[in-house]
Amino acid sequence: MKKKQDNARLMQEIEQIGIVPLVTLRSDEEAVPLARALQEGGVPVAEVTFRSPFALEGMKRIHSELPDVMLMAGTVHNVEQAEASVAAGCVGIVTPSFDEAVVDWCLDNDVMVLPGTAAPSDVEKAYDRGLRRAKFFPAEAYGGVKTLKALSGPFAEMKFLPTGGVNLKNSAEYLMQKNVFAVGGSFPVPSDSQKAQDWDGIVTACKLARHVAEPIILAKKQDFVIA
Ligand code: 3PG
């Protein structure tokens, strides 16, 4: 029988890294070098999205070649995709909206889930199911930091992963929010670097993202007031 995974520990690891890179694969072959670049850049997490037909095979390759990279499935729209990605080695599922069937399947199967939430009604559904972590998407289009601050009143126990329009420049402001546990997005994987298979470019983007995140994570850990 499969060993029960420790979702609280995985969540802590994400919080410690502070960044969840969105990976949309352009081929099966690029999965491993791209994930290795994330790891080398200090961001050993990959949210491989179902936005390309290479997602599942890519997950399998990353899982077998780079077992230390925390593998998540992104843009999961249904239970079939969730099941297939866990079978391919993913430890977590990220959804663009609050999909009840996917969330409940994850909860029933002890799979870490970060459901997409944008409005208080979505956050309430997550909260009612006992979740205290969710994705906030699309962050910039739905009011960004201002909305997160507003949500911190009624949902004081909830922490978010803002994604959608998060970049190197605004990631600091997001991370400084007390209800943000990490930021997500495609910015650690610049599309030009990916197209050119310039893995060093991805290493650099990840190092820069970490450079921004690290002092904020440290300050938050020590309850140092920065904003
Ligand atoms: C997501 O699904 O998290 C977003 O589409 C990421 O958006 P970005 O490309 O602006 O980071």
Q: What residues make up the domain containing 205?
A: 7-216
- The catalytic position among 47, 140, 159, 220 is 47
- State the closest ligand 1 atom to the C-alpha of 49, by its place in the atom list counted from 1: 2
- State the closest ligand 1 atom to the C-alpha of 140, by its place in the atom list counted from 1: 10
In a domain, 29, yes or no: yes
In a domain, 221, yes or no: no
In a domain, 227, yes or no: no
pTM of the model: 0.95
CA dist 22 and 45 (Å) reads 9
In a domain, 207, yes or no: yes
- State the closest ligand 1 atom to the C-alpha of 186, by its place in the atom list counted from 1: 11
In a domain, 203, yes or no: yes
Instruction: Summarize pLDDT for 50-79 with one digit per residue, the tens.
Output: 999 999 999 999 999 999 999 999 999 999
In a domain, 130, yes or no: yes
Number of domains in the chain: 1
Q: What's 112's domain CATH number?
A: 3.20.20.70
| Residue 165 beta carbon below 6 angstroms from any ligand 1 atom | yes
pLDDT (tens place) for every residue of the chain, 227 residues total: 456 789 999 999 999 999 999 999 999 999 999 999 999 999 999 999 999 999 999 999 999 999 999 999 999 999 999 999 999 999 999 999 999 999 999 999 999 999 999 999 999 999 999 999 999 999 999 999 999 999 999 999 999 999 999 999 999 999 999 999 999 999 999 999 999 999 999 999 999 999 999 999 999 988 876 66
In a domain, 179, yes or no: yes
In a domain, 222, yes or no: no
| Residue 166 beta carbon below 6 angstroms from any ligand 1 atom | yes
Q: How far is the CA of 214 from the centre of ligand 1 (A)?
A: 21
